[in-house]
Structures are given as structure tokens and as C-alpha cells.
Amino acid sequence: MGTIFAGTSGWAYASWKPGFYPADLSSAKFLNYYATRLNSVEVNYTFGSIVTDELLRTWIRATPTHFQFAIKAHYSITHVKRLRKAARAAAEFLEAIEPLRKARKLGPVLFQLPPNLKCDLPLLKAFLAKLPRRTRAAFEFRHTSWFRDDVYDALRKAHVALCLAESPKIETPAVRTTDFSYLRLRKDLYPPKARKELAEKVAHLKRHGDVYVYFKHEETPEGAKYAEKLLKPTEKG
């Protein structure tokens, strides 16, 4: 039986006041407060910027011991090199976020491929072969050509998760490839029926290992509220 880690793709949104953050809360305390209600966050900042040790230490100090940061891999790996001859760049990126792993707060690293990158199985296998097994990794494919059995088999052999992404444009097949699950939920709204079905899906996946669930952030706090409900299913609302 695993643990559910739920949150949103980021936390630094003043527009979440007062629906999630208290109206008088300073932005410097957003993460501290976020971590009192949710136990994980997906960090998109790392997609475009290299984090410093000082910034990572700030995140570590602001969150409790059980909190997990899922980290999106830098675009130079996925969008510039497009996985080709990217082993060194990936190793440097993982080294940069090493303080999170040492603090036991590093969740999965998400490799989000560009929508125009079509399936290239040899390329994927070559990249996966260089990833260290101690790092949990998930792949989000945004071209439907990747959704095939030999790709799933390659992920299984590397102990890498297929990111189950759900958006208005594309929906990933519900295929489990390792001992944890990673869900990215990009729709604007999830009415009660959809949330009930999602909770049942997450409960099922939890039987097989940890489940990481991240809702869309955007301009309203609805995603954060959805995530909190997943963590506290007995509460009404």
C-alpha cells in the first residue's frame, strides 16, 4: 500500500487569495502555508531555470519532513537536445537537485517531451539506460505515437512511470509501468462526479504503490482544493 501525494503545479499565486491563502499572508510564506494543507508540489520553475543550493534549502526549510517535491526536468534535456546525447545534461540536472534527495524530499523527476517529438524507441531506450535507478522518473509523452506496448515495456524495464496526463487535447492510456503512479490533471474544472471517479482511480493505484497527483494551477485555487479533497476524502465538499 502506497501513499497519496497531492498538490498543484506550483504554489506562488497571489490570485489564490482568499480562496486558499489567507488574505493577509505574504508571498514569502506561501510555501509554508501550502505545506500545511497539501503534501506535495510539482515544480515547473526547474523547467526553465537552474536552481541554486540556497533556493533548495529555502524550500526544504519551509516544508515538513513528509513533504515531496516533484521536479520537472530542464527544457535543455527534453526540448533542446530532445533526449539525444542528453545523458550529461540529465546528470548535471540531477546533481543540481541533489539537496532535495538528501533531505528525503525529492519526489519523481518529470521528463515532459514536446508535442512534436514523435515516438523514437531507440532514442528513449538509450536515454533511459543512463538514468540512475535511485531517482524516480516519469515520462509525459505529448504525441500519441508513443502510446504503444514496446514503449511501455521500455519504461517497465527502466522502472520509470508513464505519466498519466489528462487534458482537453490528449489523454494518456491508463497503463502502469512501475511501482508508483504519476498523474497530471490539466482540465479547468472537475465536477463532483469526475472527482469521485478520480478518487476511486487513485485509491486503486495506491494499492500498487505511491501515487503523485498534480492539478492545474492557473488563476484560481480550485486545483489546490481538489488536491486537498483527495487527501481528506471523508470531509464533505
The domain that holds 9 is classified in CATH as 3.20.20.410
Q: Are 53 and 81 in contact (CB under 8 A)?
A: no
Provide the residue type at 66 as one letter: H
Closest C-alpha to 33, from 22, 18, 44, 42:
22
- pLDDT tens digits, 189-216: 899 999 999 999 999 999 999 999 999 8
The total domain count for the chain is 1
Closest C-alpha to 108, from 57, 175, 177:
177
- pLDDT tens digits, 24-72: 999 999 999 999 999 999 999 999 999 999 999 999 999 999 999 999 9
Mean pLDDT of 118-133: 96
- Bridge partners, residue 166, by sequence: 171, 185
In a domain, 236, yes or no: no
In a domain, 103, yes or no: yes
| Residue 13 CB partners (closer than 8 Å, separation 6+) | 30, 217, 219, 221
- Count the alpha carbons within 13 Å of 104 in the hemisphere toward its beta carbon: 3
How far apart are the C-alpha atoms of 162 and 45, rounded to whole Å?
22
Q: Cis peptide leading into 18, omega within 30 of 0?
A: yes
In a domain, 194, yes or no: yes
How far apart are the C-alpha atoms of 237 and 235, rounded to whole Å?
7
Q: How confident is the model at residue 236 (pLDDT cuts 50, 70, 90)?
A: very low
In a domain, 91, yes or no: yes
Q: Which residue has the cell 508508483?
A: 180
In a domain, 113, yes or no: yes
In a domain, 237, yes or no: no
Domain with 42, as residue range(s), is 4-231
pLDDT for residue 229 is more than 60: yes
| Measured CA angle at 101 (ends 61, 94), to 5 deg | 120
Q: How confident is the model at residue 233 (pLDDT cuts 50, 70, 90)?
A: low
Query: What is the reported pLDDT for 237?
Result: 47
| Number of CB atoms found within 10 A of residue 149's CB | 8
- pLDDT tens digits, 67-93: 999 999 999 999 999 999 999 999 999
Mean pLDDT of 96-116: 97
Q: How confident is the model at residue 133 (pLDDT cuts 50, 70, 90)?
A: confident
In a domain, 193, yes or no: yes
